[in-house]
């Protein structure tokens, strides 16, 4: 495996065994050795199978609690077991033993799902008033949230025979979700940009580099590879939509979006309000494209120019980033910062080494209540610092919520999660901008603004666009329509055009294939919008710190500690954020406008120059 310099040029990477230990996570906290994991793999199946003995015996509060306790114990074991397998596979794709562990973990996880499948139908077959009465007992306190959420799904649970059939189609209905990444990551070839092969791993660095011709070639070749497979990709995506519509109807939901949002009790109005408010504020994006064009000294801004660096890259070491994040999060109090710094340094939460075979991307893993873990690759840029700030937001959310609640209380949802991660980025960014201005370091100030706008571009431009695309696709299928490749491309280009205004000269065909470049975000139904709601809630929460820091701190820490004990809309409402109103989205546009205002002030200075 090779990685790329900021220039996009490939270079060799060290083997996993050769990277410094301090740059790797403390995987031994889960299992001391692979042999210990193997021993657990041998023991878990029998322990899981023992849960089947509870089937048909849940008709008393004592019996129900006994099953829940036993299932919780095995689920927690399985979470740690699966985490170890997936984490070791993530850091080294060449490790065949790690790949085998991941496959074995998948099999045992499937076994758990099969063995425990009796629970939900049997619970829902009991008299609802009787169960509601049980939930008032003190010994059910830790189980109440989970059981109440299962009970509210009762209207959408079908007969045993139908449920068995719906369970049987789950795996084949997920097939296209595996086909798309296999196509995109293994079969598509993206050509070269000035002699450098374009890959999934380096395309972002190439399209943000200083050479405009390299940017053009990389962007066009990447789009062209997807265009060459547009009909197959359209067929896959249309299949995914039709399957989701079928499942929503089978469970008696009015439409697919309601079916997707109902488990977390998120009103459809949250999505429509987001999209309506986004569209009303797109002129702020239009201003940004214009100032970017003028800053780069271009006659017209093309899509391969929207990520081009405005100022020279700023080198950032991991230790410097930790100091920045700790200082930026100081308003949350000494205990929060102490835990954060301990995790990022001494306790080795983060695997940030760059090594051969390490997969792309970043994530935070709750670690099965052992400790949080962060997966990323450090490349010494502001983007790396921003990723670390984002992921430690997730990890601190996990830490605080698991201290507050037992494993039986549901974990926070993605809707909750993206608030915490984006909040950390926003708060640290605000601190760094103040420091840069106080020091008169305008270059750093612009670099921080550019990092922010890169983050906004993904979460607050691309994701709302994908959310609008997805909603329209579902509406067309639910109305009896079709989704062909030309349909999808025209829809995407039209939505992008709304966001670009007259600030970007579009290549409509290549722009229109953007939808095909996202696997997770579109094949996990109604997923993309949560990135936009997350960044929106985060910025409204941050504004509260400017009004009353003490009260805002207590409110926000309570949100983190509540974890998944409250539905996300209720948790945010308690924190002073109403996701049914346009205010959170408008708060984020206010921040975006401040960044654009500052760039407009500086566009004529020596910092700006021709591309």
| Tens-digit pLDDT profile for residues 451-484 | 999 999 999 999 999 999 999 999 999 999 999 9
Residue 542 or residue 201, greater confidence? 542
Superfamily grouping for domain 29-172: Oligopeptidase f, N-terminal domain (1.20.140.70)
pLDDT of 2 above 50: no
- Give the gyration radius of the chain's Cα atoms: 25
Domain ranges for the chain: 29-172
> If pLDDT is split at 50, 70 and 90, which confidence band does 361 have?
confident
pLDDT, tens only, 131-154: 999 999 999 999 999 999 999 998
Task: Using a pLDDT cut of 70, give the percent of the chain over it.
Answer: 97
* Cβ atoms of residues 308 and 296 within 8 Å: yes
Mean pLDDT of 592-606: 93
| Both structure tokens of 371 | 């400790």
Range with the poorest average pLDDT among 156-165, 400-409, 576-585: 156-165
* pLDDT of amino acid 11: 56
Range with the poorest average pLDDT among 54-68, 81-95, 146-160, 220-234: 146-160
| DSSP letters for 201-255 | TTHHHHHTSS-HHHHHHHHHHHHHHHHHTHHHHHHHHHHHHHHHHHHHHHTT-SS
Residue 7 or residue 89, greater confidence? 89
What does the alpha-carbon distance between residue 197 and residue 143 come to, in Å, rounded to a whole number? 53
Task: Using a pLDDT cut of 90, give the percent of the chain over it.
Answer: 84
* Cβ atoms of residues 464 and 278 within 8 Å: yes
pLDDT of 428 above 80: yes
pLDDT, tens only, 93-108: 889 999 999 999 999 9
DSSP three-state, residue 58 = coil
* pLDDT of amino acid 168: 73
pLDDT of 161 above 50: yes
Q: What is the mean pLDDT of the chain?
A: 93
> If pLDDT is split at 50, 70 and 90, which confidence band does 13 have?
confident
Mean pLDDT of 189-199: 93
* pLDDT of amino acid 166: 77
pLDDT of 34 above 70: yes
Mean pLDDT of 176-189: 79
Mean pLDDT of 50-77: 97
> If pLDDT is split at 50, 70 and 90, which confidence band does 6 have?
very low
Predicted model pTM: 0.93
Neighbouring C-beta atoms of residue 376, cutoff 10 Å: 21
What does the alpha-carbon distance between residue 203 and residue 215 come to, in Å, rounded to a whole number? 9
């Amino acid at each position: 495996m090779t990685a790329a310099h900021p220039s996009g040029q490939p270079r060799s990477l060290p083997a996993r065994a050769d990277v410094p230990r301090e740059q790797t996570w403390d995987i031994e906290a889960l299992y001391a050795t692979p042999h210990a994991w193997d021993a657990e793999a041998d023991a878990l199946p029998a322990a899981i199978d023992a849960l089947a003995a509870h089937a048909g015996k849940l008709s008393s509060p004592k019996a129900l609690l006994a099953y829940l306790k036993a299932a919780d114990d095995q689920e927690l074991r399985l979470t740690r077991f699966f985490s170890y397998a997936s984490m070791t596979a993530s850091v080294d794709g060449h490790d065949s033993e790690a790949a085998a562990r991941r496959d074995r973990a998948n099999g045992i996880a499937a076994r758990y799902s099969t063995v425990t499948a009796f629970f939900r139908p049997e619970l829902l077959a009991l008299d609802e008033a009787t169960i509601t009465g049980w939930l008032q007992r003190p010994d059910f306190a830790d189980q109440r949230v989970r059981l109440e959420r299962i009970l509210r799904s009762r209207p959408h649970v079908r007969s045993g025979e139908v449920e068995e059939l719906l369970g049987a189609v789950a795996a084949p209905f997920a097939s296209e979700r595996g086909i798309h990444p296999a196509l995109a990551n293994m079969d598509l070839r993206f050509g070269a940009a000035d002699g450098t092969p374009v890959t999934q791993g380096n395309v972002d660095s190439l399209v943000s580099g200083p050479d405009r011709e390299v940017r053009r070639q990389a962007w066009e070749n990447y789009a062209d590879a997807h265009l060459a497979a547009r009909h197959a990709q359209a067929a896959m995506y249309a299949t995914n939509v039709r399957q989701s519509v079928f499942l929503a109807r089978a469970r008696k939901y009015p439409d697919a979006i309601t079916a997707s949002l109902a488990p977390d009790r998120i009103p459809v109005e949250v999505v429509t309000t987001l999209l309506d408010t986004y569209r009303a504020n797109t002129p702020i994006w239009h201003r940004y494209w214009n100032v970017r064009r003028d800053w780069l000294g271009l006659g017209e801004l093309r899509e391969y120019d929207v990520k081009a660096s405005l100022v020279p890259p700023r080198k950032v070491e991991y230790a410097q980033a930790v100091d920045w994040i700790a200082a930026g999060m100081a308003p949350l109090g000494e205990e929060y910062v102490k835990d954060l710094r301990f995790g990022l340094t001494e306790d080795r939460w983060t695997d940030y080494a760059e090594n051969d075979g390490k997969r792309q991307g970043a994530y935070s893993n709750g670690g099965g209540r052992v400790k949080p873990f962060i997966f990323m690759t450090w490349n010494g840029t502001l983007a790396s610092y921003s990723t670390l700030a984002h992921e430690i937001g997730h990890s601190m959310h996990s830490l605080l919520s698991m201290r507050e609640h037992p494993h039986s209380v549901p974990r926070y949802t993605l809707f909750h999660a993206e608030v915490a991660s984006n909040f950390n980025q926003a708060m640290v960014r605000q601190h760094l901008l103040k420091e840069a201005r106080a020091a008169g370091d305008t270059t750093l100030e612009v670099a921080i603004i550019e990092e922010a706008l890169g983050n906004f571009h993904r979460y607050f431009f691309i994701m709302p666009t994908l959310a609008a695309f997805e909603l329209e696709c579902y509406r067309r299928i639910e109305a009896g329509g079709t989704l062909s490749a030309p349909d999808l491309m025209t829809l995407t280009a039209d939505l992008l055009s709304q966001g670009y205004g007259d600030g970007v000269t579009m290549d409509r065909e290549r722009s229109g294939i953007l939808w095909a470049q996202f696997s997770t975000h579109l094949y996990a139904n109604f997923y993309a919008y949560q990135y936009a709601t997350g960044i929106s809630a985060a910025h409204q929460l941050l504004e509260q710190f400017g009004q009353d820091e003490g009260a805002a701190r207590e409110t926000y820490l309570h949100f983190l500690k509540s974890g998944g004990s409250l539905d996300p809309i209720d948790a945010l409402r308690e924190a002073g954020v109403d996701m049914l109103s346009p205010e959170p989205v408008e708060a984020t546009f206010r921040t975006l406008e401040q960044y654009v205002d500052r760039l407009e002030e500086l566009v004529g200075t020596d910092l700006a120059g021709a591309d």
